[in-house]
């Protein structure tokens, strides 16, 4: 049985998706937030999951916050730590402590559009496809070995809200899958930016947006 600790800062909809997936061989040991008013804490508690708050405002610097956060996380003996809308930049020491067992989801097709406001930036760039990426976390922001990505076509008339909503649907699909692969010991980091998924299934052909006529 693998223990999973999930970090949130707000509603935690990806946390909800992982909890609802009820992944065999795993246990959500705790949900931890840096914000006392995070709505996701109520959802977790209602599902019998331990919750905790490590308020970043109570610490003089990032390093001291991360030290206390790691202490609280480690009290739950995690095999995997999952960032689910956790809106804090983590120190290199924190990331190294959880190397190979720290996952994040980002709302773009990394390495494109790291950072914030990804949907608006995608629209401004005129890309035809957008999407979301699950990756192992490294010290560099929104980098690290990519586990899985989902592609969302950009549609005529899209605004930031419409595009974000369609991307979020895919986030809720692929994040539980990535966690499931970890629990099943199917993920192997093979390089600075590469992950091998055991028995991975992928179609041999590509696709285009807009479609190209034959």
Domain closes at, from 50, 83, 98: 98
How distant is the alpha carbon of residue 21 from its chain centre? 15
Query: 97 catalytic, yes or no?
Result: no
Does residue 191 register a pLDDT over 90? no
Q: Which among 56, 76, 106, 194 is annotated as catalytic?
A: 106
Cα separation of 212 and 161, whole Å? 28
- Give the domain range for residue 9: 1-98
CA distance 2 to 104: 18
Q: What is the CATH number of the domain that holds 111?
A: 3.40.50.170
**Domain end marker among 62, 81, 98:** 98
Note whether 90 and 152 are same-domain residues: no
The predicted pLDDT at position 211 comes to 72
For strands 26-33 and 50-53, give the pairing: parallel
User: How many separate domains does the chain show?
Assistant: 2
Q: For residue 211, is it within any domain?
A: no
Sheet holding 102-106, edge to edge: 50-53, 26-33, 2-8, 80-83, 102-106, 129-136, 146-153, 194-197, 187-191
Per-residue pLDDT band at 208 (split at 50, 70, 90): low
Residue 55 falls within a domain, yes or no? Answer: yes
Q: 150: how many CB neighbours lie within 10 A of its CB?
A: 21
Shared domain for 86 and 168, answered yes or no, is no
pLDDT for position 193: 86
Q: Check whether 51 has a pLDDT greater than 70.
A: yes
Q: What are the tens digits of pLDDT across the range 26-46?
A: 999 999 999 999 999 999 999
Exposure class string for 54-75: b at 16+ Cβ within 10 A, else e: bebeebeeeeebbbebbeebee
């Amino acid at each position: 049985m693998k223990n999973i600790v999930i970090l949130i800062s707000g509603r935690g909809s990806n946390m909800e998706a992982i909890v609802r997936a009820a992944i065999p061989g795993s246990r959500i040991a705790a949900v931890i937030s840096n914000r006392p008013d995070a709505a996701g804490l109520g959802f977790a508690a209602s599902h019998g999951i331990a919750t905790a708050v490590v308020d970043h405002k109570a610490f003089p610097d990032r390093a001291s916050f991360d030290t206390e956060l790691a202490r609280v996380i480690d009290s739950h003996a995690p095999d995997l730590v999952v960032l689910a809308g956790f809106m804090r930049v983590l120190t290199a020491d924190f990331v190294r402590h959880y190397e190979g067992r720290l996952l994040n989801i980002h709302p773009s097709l990394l390495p494109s559009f790291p950072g914030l406001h990804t949907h608006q930036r995608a629209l401004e760039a005129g890309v035809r496809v957008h999407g979301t990426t699950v990756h192992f976390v490294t010290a560099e922001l929104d980098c690290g070995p990519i586990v899985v990505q989902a592609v969302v076509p950009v549609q005529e008339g899209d605004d930031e809200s419409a595009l974000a909503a369609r991307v979020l649907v895919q986030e809720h699909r692929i994040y539980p899958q990535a966690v499931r692969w970890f629990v099943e010991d199917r993920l192997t980091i093979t390089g600075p930016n590469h992950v091998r998924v055991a028995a991975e299934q992928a179609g041999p052909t590509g696709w285009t947006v807009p479609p190209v006529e034959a």
